[in-house]
Amino acid sequence: MRSVNLYITFDDRNKIKKSFLNLRKYLIISVKEVVEKLGFADAPIDDCVSFIINQEILKMIKDGSNGRNLLGIVYLNEDLDNEIIREIIYYAEDLKNVNKVILLTDIDDHEEYYELFEEVMFYPSLKKVHIVECQTFPPELISQVKIDNDLYI
């Protein structure tokens, strides 16, 4: 059975589209779009509405992890915080088809969240690439990667 990676990012769909070529093979879950689809865009987000939205997102992640033709899942949420990230990582650990949960960000952004993830992947800076061509880094090696990049730029 095929396993997929779950990429979590603070950025929106436009940034993803500008950076990567092969998005047809990825399930993109945008929290903003899920809220609109469920009809809660103009409603106040209370605990009940939040629960409904969260359950829909978790269902999408689970269904996407079972997709045969998908290479991965990209979760977009501009309002991420420590608690949300931990809940998604915890949920993904129980899904047998999710291989890793990876933070997708710009270099030097959201450094306070690096330690929550197994790996961190930075957006390509020169041209559009396939997501699978990008290099991921364990959080403990990122400071060395920054030093190496500065030497070669």
Residue 11 has pLDDT above 60, yes or no: yes
Q: Let me know: does 121 contact 103? Beta carbons within 8 Å.
A: yes
Q: Which pLDDT belongs to residue 71?
A: 87
User: What is the per-residue pLDDT across 55-98, written as a single tens digit (0 to 9) for each?
Assistant: 999 999 999 888 778 889 999 999 888 999 999 999 999 898 89
Tokens of 111: 């450094």
Place of tokens 């979760």: 75
Segment 36-54 shows an average pLDDT of 84
**pTM (2 d.p.):** 0.85
State yes or no: pLDDT of 149 exceeds 70.
no
CATH topology for 4-152 is Rossmann fold (3.40.50)
Using pLDDT thresholds of 50, 70 and 90, give the confidence band for residue 151: very low
In the structure encoding, which two tokens stand for residue 7, read together?
């990429």
Strand order in the sheet with 4-9: 26-30, 72-76, 4-9, 98-105, 119-122, 136-137
**Is-contact 27 73, C-beta < 8 A?**
yes
Flag whether pLDDT at 148 surpasses 60. Answer: no
